Chain A
Amino acid sequence: MKSITKYIEENKLLLKIDSKIYEQQAILNASYKFTDKCFINIELVGQYFEVYFQSQNSNVDLELIALNFGNELIDQQIRLDSGKEFKVIREELVKKAFASISK
């Protein structure tokens, strides 16, 4: 199965997202960016997060939302990954910066 699977029906969109590829926090962060255009509900079903979008007005293009959500999800996952990657360096920086003060 693909990392994101899309279903669109009238003013509703369902994205099924593989939790082995994207973290829950990335999905929540990405979803937040679309709350001005859609009502959003998220459920975990087995290995997949199911993100339900319901457009708030008739001008919302759900096809475009699905595409943008995919890109946003990648950005959010990069932020989480780099946050973990840089955690040690960030801590070292702070330690080094205040080393002379703590002596």
Chain B
Amino acid sequence: MSYQILPYRFERLEDNVFLSNEIGEYVFLSNQDFNKFITHDLHSGDLSFKNLKSKQIIADENIDSVLEMLAIKYRTKKYFLTDFTSLHMVVVTLRCNSNCCYCQVSKKDLSDINFDMTKVVAKKVIEKIFESPSPNIKIEFQGGEPLLNFDTVKYIIEKAEWHNLFKKKDLSFVICTNLTLIDKKILSWLKEHRVYISTSIDGPKLLHNQNRPLHDKSNSYDIVQEKIALCREYLGQDSVSALMTTPSYTINHFEEIIDQYIDLGFDSIFLRSLNPYGFAKRDKHKLAYPMSDFVENYKKGLEYIRDYIN
């Protein structure tokens, strides 16, 4: 069979071969069909031939128009290059006052101040961020617990606002915090600089405290609940968003977690699977689960939300 093979990559898996191309289209072929594909022995009636053709990995006619289509899809996929990066995550410290079981960054102890970003580095970070041609710049502070290095957070925000007097971009800030250290003074400052807050709620009190115990063993759930109310009082009802992370012992509790979010006055939820980094990777023997388990429970969670809305 006469056909043109277009740019592709391949990787052999256990029982088959994975092929992908420049635009992220992909096909799985049996080993036998992969050999036929390489040696140009696939036939136009073969299912594999049709799959490869529909994904623009091979072409048997109008090759110019197929290349044109590939170019259009490539342009769409790489469209972010026209404006370049708009979201910038700044890790101002790796220290944290929580001992979350799944901590992605393998947080450092409160005394390890060498893991704080210095103002010298922060200045360079800001300069780099404003090199982006994007008209929108969002700076998200992460950690560790960023409020442990709040001086650097303030420095970056004030510097960014100064740069933006000249750059005139749509500039916004988010701080990802466990909320436990937030107080009225910090909130007043955040309000003045229009900083949004993202936090973590892992569900009802028992689950949350199990996943996200504080360094000093105090009850993190009660503190977070109280601080959410304080944030809303200072910054407005929609100023705080939250997400959760799912270790193995949480996976069957999505309904209770959704109920908890509703009780806390949130109108959105992010049911997030475990990321295989940091402590989650180190302790995967007790925290991890097959992704199929997550998907199954995620679907149940969606159905539960749909029923609630209806």
Using a CB–CB cutoff of 8 Å, the interface residues on chain A facing chain B are 75, 78-79, 82, 86, 89-90, 92-94, 96-98, 101
A34 vs B17: C-alpha distance in the bound complex, in angstroms?
A: 19
A82-B5, A89-B6, A97-B78 known; 10 new pairs, CB 8 Å cut-off, are A78-B38, A86-B6, A86-B7, A89-B67, A90-B7, A93-B67, A93-B74, A94-B74, A97-B72, A98-B78
A75 vs B70: C-alpha distance in the bound complex, in angstroms?
A: 25
B22 touches A93 (CB 8 A): yes
A100 vs B65: C-alpha distance in the bound complex, in angstroms?
A: 17
Cβ–Cβ < 8 Å partners of A93 in chain B: 7, 22, 67, 70-71, 74
Interface of A (DSSP majority class): helix
B286 at the interface (CB under 8 A from A): no
Identify A96's interface contact among B5, B9, B12, B67, CB under 8 A: B67
B159 at the interface (CB under 8 A from A): no
Query: A81 → chain B, closest Cβ, in Å?
Result: 10
B82 at the interface (CB under 8 A from A): yes
Using a CB–CB cutoff of 8 Å, the interface residues on chain B facing chain A are 5-10, 12, 22, 38, 67-68, 70-72, 74-75, 78, 82
Cβ–Cβ < 8 Å partners of B82 in chain A: 101
B7 touches A96 (CB 8 A): no
5 contacts between A and B (CB under 8 A): A75-B10, A82-B5, A82-B7, A82-B8, A86-B6
Query: A54 → chain B, closest Cβ, in Å?
Result: 25
A17 vs B72: C-alpha distance in the bound complex, in angstroms?
A: 43
Query: A29 → chain B, closest Cβ, in Å?
Result: 12
Query: B281 → chain A, closest Cβ, in Å?
Result: 17
Given A90-B22, A97-B78, A101-B82; A79-B67 close (CB under 8 Å): no
A90 vs B75: C-alpha distance in the bound complex, in angstroms?
A: 13
Q: Of residues A89, A90, A94, A101, which shows the largest number of chain B Cβ atoms within 10 Å of its Cβ?
A: A89
Chain A, residue nearest B70 (CB): A93
A98 touches B75 (CB 8 A): yes
Cβ–Cβ < 8 Å partners of A79 in chain B: 9-10
A101 vs B8: C-alpha distance in the bound complex, in angstroms?
A: 25
A22 vs B75: C-alpha distance in the bound complex, in angstroms?
A: 35
Given A78-B38, A97-B75, A98-B75; A92-B67 close (CB under 8 Å): yes
